[in-house]
Amino acid sequence: MALESLDRSPPPFFRVGFAPLTKLIFFSALSVLLMFGDKQLQFTQPIRAGLSTLILPVQWLVLQPGQVADLVGDYFQNLDQAQKNLQAAQLKALQQSARSQQVEQLEIENQSLRQLLDLKSTVATSSQVAEVLFDVPDPFNQRIVIDKGQIKDVALGSPVIDAGGVVGQVTRVYPLTAEVTLLTDRDQSIPVVNGRTGARNIASGDILAGVPRIELKFVPASADVKEGDLLTTSGIDGVYPAGLQVGRISHIERRVDISFARIHASPLAALNGRHVLVLQPTGITSPAKGKAP
């Protein structure tokens, strides 16, 4: 092959073309021209609208992970805030419930105190209001401890009552406190009179079906006693003033083989109350002020 027949032109890869500076000037001028034309004629607006429509699904897909993350974060944040609000509301409700119970308890105590003060003004003997501190933890005796003692001139044997009636009797006296045996205690006895018939009896503490009651002793089976009869103190023992309410007949049992009826009465006093009225025994003169009892 002759050398003259060979193609001496450079391959396309090695063709240089325009100079870089020429290309820069050309494309810069073209860019300025296009920007000016787009500014004046808005001929690229349809292209932009089409491209925006085409890439909208892609943008939506790209934004979804971030939005899901924001939603999850907002959900847990709102859930945590809701739990905190619920706990705060429950705490506030408990506080209001406790405060309401305290208010109700104070109203009950105030009403009880008002009744005792009214009762104090009607009782002829010397008396004073006392607060019940606690029950004596003895399963065989029914006793309470009050906050008045020898310093407050509480005498041994003093009757203790409330707005309902007789509560019991002071059986032990200490300098600052006193022990009261309830009228439902088995060792406690009170002379009573039937308000309907005027019959006198002795009432002693007893328990019927697990409930503390008082029982009338040695009442003939033929005696005129009915359920609902009111029992009051007779005043013949020199301890209890006459006319104090003791109880109301609640159960009568008569048997042909027994000469005496079994009669029980329910106490009218609130044996679990908070405040009581301590009376001076009718057979004891009230000590002078400033002197020891």
**Which pLDDT belongs to residue 28?**
87
pLDDT of residue 154: 92
Return the H-helix or E-strand segment holding 79.
helix 45-122
Q: Which string of b and e fits 60-89 if b means at least 16 CB within 10 Å?
A: eeeeeeeeeeeeeeeeeeeeeeeeeeeeee
Largest Cα–Cα distance in the chain? Answer: 165
pLDDT of 290: 36
pLDDT of the residue at 291: 35
When the candidates are 3.40.50.720, 1.10.1330.10, 2.40.10.340, 1.10.10.10, the CATH number that belongs to 127-279 is 2.40.10.340
CA dihedral 140→142→147→153, nearest 10 degrees, is -100
**Helix, strand and coil percent figures for the chain, each rounded to 5:** 35, 25, 35
Report the Cα–Cα distance between both ends of the chain, in Å, rounded: 156
Work out whether strand 178-182 and strand 166-173 pair parallel, antiparallel, or are unpaired: antiparallel
pLDDT at 230: 93
Domain residue spans of the chain? 64-122, 127-279
Residue pair 275/110 in contact (Cβ under 8 Å)? The answer is: no
Per-residue pLDDT tens digits of the chain, which is 293 residues long: 555 665 566 555 555 567 778 888 888 888 888 777 777 777 667 777 777 788 878 778 888 888 888 888 888 888 888 888 888 887 777 777 666 665 665 666 667 666 666 666 666 678 888 989 988 877 778 899 999 999 998 999 999 998 888 999 999 999 999 999 999 998 899 999 998 998 999 999 988 777 888 999 888 888 899 999 999 998 888 888 888 899 999 999 888 778 889 899 999 998 888 889 898 887 654 443 333 33
The answer to whether 232 touches 246, Cβ cutoff 8 Å, is yes
- Asked if 165 contacts 268 with a C-beta cutoff of 8 angstroms, the reply is yes
> Which residues make beta-bridge pairs with 203?
190, 216
